[in-house]
Amino acid sequence: MNLTEKARQMLARNLPLEDALPTKMPAYVNSAAYLFGAATLAALALLIVTGGILTIFGPGWHHVSDVGRFVDALHFWSAQAFFASLAAHMATKFFQAAWRHNRWKTWVLGLLTFGVAVFAGLTGYLSQTNFDSQWASVQAKDVMNSVGLGAFFNTMNLGQVITLHVAVLPAVIVLLVGLHLFFVRRDGPVLPIGERDEQAH
Amino acid sequence: MSKRTDEYLSGVPMKPYDLLREILIVLAIIAVIVIVLASVLGSPDYPTVRAQDVANLQPIAYLQTGATILAGNSSIQHYGPPYTEDRNNAQHLFRQAPANWFGVSIPLDPAQDFILKPLARVSVLNGNVTGALEAYQAASTDQQQAWLSAYMAALDNATVIDGQVQIPSGDYGPVPTLMDSMLALGKAGLLEGALDSNVRQPFEYDFTQSLLFFQDDVDGSVAEQLDMSSDQWGVMHETGNYPGAWWLFPYAFLYHVPPMNNSSNADIQAIFIILMVFLFLLFLPVVPIFNRLPRWLRVYKLIWRDWYSRKKSGGSGDP
């Protein structure tokens, strides 16, 4: 068995370039509601770039440098933009019942991404090394401990918190988003409600 | 297009589209919004509460914290796993306490770890501390508690004159010497270092002990002033006039309704409810009735209004 051959066939079958990078779209894709997914991706890209710069210069940089403080502000507002876009994206996909026509995997992957993103947001607060993180760390520890996670994740261990925030959780988010986009492009945008309803599930 | 897409979209009119152009335009818009907000509003960065600041500005509160910990009355002293063996104090739900499943993974004895061990290090520099420590540890537990009770009661009537804490005279044993040494440690800016030093010095990455030291009253009162306490929906706040984790609103809301608003198991109850809601949403596509909610809410009519009006007018659908 040639694994490369198999992978090539799988991609050709599921995600040819015409689907991955489309130059035409169904006429019903004609609403601003379709832009929230792209906005979430854009905010995620900004989060990764600004977070990457903050990581290179270290966790204390934004306290002592004007440039660092500005990059920290960019990262902060990118996070706000990310969750605002994501909330709007999830709401519109709910109102579209976008899981119809066997698109439940896309829905599930999107929700899992939101769940991991919330945890990434928490570790972001804990990484700020200011009073917000000082207070959040002792408050959040009770929540983690209550469900037994305190044995594995200590909110007051900055080394663990930052590693999760800058490496592990972004990697998981990028992986989930990658899978989400694979199914989005493979299956195409779901038909409007009322179209082929007999195949809706 | 793939066979799959061709079949799904058969009969559906198509329109020209440029995916990369759309993504780049959206990226540019989001970037401009973010840059403007960052330039105009900046980001929250309220300074930490340092032991040195507390020792200099609120020395009585500092001493009360130290005495409370030494008396074994800090909230960590009998917390339960992962810090202590007091398993009955772990939060539980349906007779299960998940914290107990994994036991004590971060063993802490606040009276020892937060007070007596740091003082033992200081004793190398200050002979008075050596004698006070020996006297304290040689005394019975009842005697220690009597000294500490009297000392803490005296702190309620203490005054600060020229930065020095004056307490009414009384029988406090060696406790004032011990607490004054703790205060000196704080004023010198050395308390956090004394608490967090580990076997891998000079490297440090775990700030559990120094973060826990002031968590009860001192940090709590600062958080209260900054609208960050639990009662003030602090979970979704940032310091200052910045949006916080507003996406945690449903979670924060749970702490304001029964039974969570008056429960020693509020955290595990809230997490359990959030987990159930999350699972419900995860399986929504196959939950009868609920998976038809979007059809009844009819918001989709707005999203696809062009498509429906085109169909209604009998148009071909060609854009």
Q: Which token pair is B88?
A: 């009955």
Please check whether residues B167 and B271 belong to one and the same domain: no
Q: What stretches of chain A adopt beta strand conformation (E)? A: 24-26
Q: What pLDDT, on a 0 to 100 scale, did the predictor assign at position B5? A: 81
Select the residue of B106, B219, B295 nearest A134 (Cβ to Cβ).
B219
Q: What pLDDT, on a 0 to 100 scale, did the predictor assign at position B1? A: 61
Q: What pLDDT, on a 0 to 100 scale, did the predictor assign at position B124? A: 86
Interface check for B20 against chain A (CB to CB < 8 A): the answer is yes
Give the separation between CA A164 and CA A127, rounded to whole angstroms.
10
Q: What pLDDT, on a 0 to 100 scale, did the predictor assign at position B315? A: 60
Q: What pLDDT, on a 0 to 100 scale, did the predictor assign at position B317? A: 46
Biggest CA-to-CA distance, chain B: 97
* Phi, psi for residue A197 in degrees, rounded to 5: -65, -25
Residue at which a domain ends, from B219, B240, B269: B219
Please check whether residues B192 and B266 belong to one and the same domain: no
Query: Residue A136: inside a domain, yes or no?
Result: yes
Q: Along chain B (319 residues), what's the average pLDDT of each consecutive run of 10 residues? A: 78 92 96 97 92 94 95 93 94 94 94 93 87 94 95 93 89 94 94 83 88 89 84 80 91 92 93 96 95 94 92 62
Interface check for A111 against chain B (CB to CB < 8 A): the answer is yes
Give the domain extent around A152: 35-63+78-190
Residue at which a domain ends, from B204, B219, B234: B219
| pLDDT per residue as tens digits for the range A123-173 | 999 999 999 999 999 999 999 999 999 999 999 999 999 999 999 999 999
Please check whether residues B69 and B177 belong to one and the same domain: yes
Rounded to two decimals, the pTM is 0.92
Query: Residue B92: inside a domain, yes or no?
Result: yes
Q: From A120, which residue of chain B is nearest by alpha-carbon distance?
A: B245
Please check whether residues B104 and B249 belong to one and the same domain: no
Query: Residue B318: inside a domain, yes or no?
Result: no
Please check whether residues B182 and B246 belong to one and the same domain: no
Chain B residues whose beta carbon lies within 8 Å of the beta carbon of residue A81 = 30, 33-34
| pLDDT per residue as tens digits for the range A56-90 | 999 899 999 999 999 999 999 999 999 999 999 99
Where does residue A42 rank: exposed (0-12), middle (13-18), buried (19+ CB within 10 A)?
A: buried
Give the separation between CA B123 and CA B135, rounded to whole angstroms.
13
Please check whether residues B207 and B261 belong to one and the same domain: no
Please check whether residues B197 and B239 belong to one and the same domain: no
| pLDDT per residue as tens digits for the range A90-109 | 999 999 999 999 999 999 99
Interface check for B125 against chain A (CB to CB < 8 A): the answer is no
b/e burial code for range B66-97 (CB count within 10 A of at least 16 → b): bbbbbbebbbbbebbbbbbeeeebbbbeeeeb
Please check whether residues B63 and B179 belong to one and the same domain: yes
Query: Residue B319: inside a domain, yes or no?
Result: no
Please check whether residues B278 and B140 belong to one and the same domain: no
As a three-state string, the secondary structure of chain B is CCHHHHHHCCCCCEEECCHHHHHHHHHHHHHHHHHHHHHHHCCCCCCCCCHHHHHHHCHHHHHHHHHHHHCCCCCCCCCCCCCCCCHHHCCCECCECHHHHHCCCCCCCHHHHHHHHHHHHHCCCCHHHHHHHHHHHHCCHHHHHHHHHHHHHHHCCCEEECCEEECCCCCCCCHHHHHHHHHHHHHCCCHHHHHHCCCCCCCCCECHHHHHHCCCCHHHHHHHHCCCCHHHCHHHECCCCCECCHHHHHHHHHCCCCCHHHCCCHHHHHHHHHHHHHHHHHCHHHCCCHHHHHHHHCCHHHHCHHHHHHHHCCCCCCC
Select the residue of A39, A69, A104 nearest B30 (Cβ to Cβ).
A39
Chain A residues whose beta carbon lies within 8 Å of the beta carbon of residue B39 = 70, 73
Interface check for B12 against chain A (CB to CB < 8 A): the answer is yes
Chain B contacts in chain A segment 13-72 (CB below 8 A): 13-16, 18-19, 21-31, 33, 35, 38-39, 41-43, 45-46, 62-63, 69-70, 72
Please check whether residues B190 and B85 belong to one and the same domain: yes
Please check whether residues B211 and B174 belong to one and the same domain: yes
Query: Residue B317: inside a domain, yes or no?
Result: no
Please check whether residues B10 and B137 belong to one and the same domain: no
Query: Residue B59: inside a domain, yes or no?
Result: yes
Q: From A150, which residue of chain B is nearest by alpha-carbon distance?
A: B82
Chain A residues whose beta carbon lies within 8 Å of the beta carbon of residue B247 = 83, 87, 118, 121
Q: What pLDDT, on a 0 to 100 scale, did the predictor assign at position B318? A: 44
Neighbours of B306 (CB within 10 A): 16
Chain B contacts in chain A segment 153-172 (CB below 8 A): 154, 156-160
CATH number assigned to the domain comprising residue A144: 1.20.810.10
Asked if A76 lies within 8 A of B300 by C-beta distance, the reply is no
Query: Residue B242: inside a domain, yes or no?
Result: yes
Give the domain extent around B125: 51-219
Chain B residues whose beta carbon lies within 8 Å of the beta carbon of residue A184 = none
Please count the structural domains in chain A: 1
Q: What pLDDT, on a 0 to 100 scale, did the predictor assign at position B226? A: 85
Query: Residue A156: inside a domain, yes or no?
Result: yes
Query: Residue A150: inside a domain, yes or no?
Result: yes
Please count the structural domains in chain B: 3
Query: Residue A199: inside a domain, yes or no?
Result: no
Question: Contact at 8 Å (CB) between B155 and B62?
Answer: no
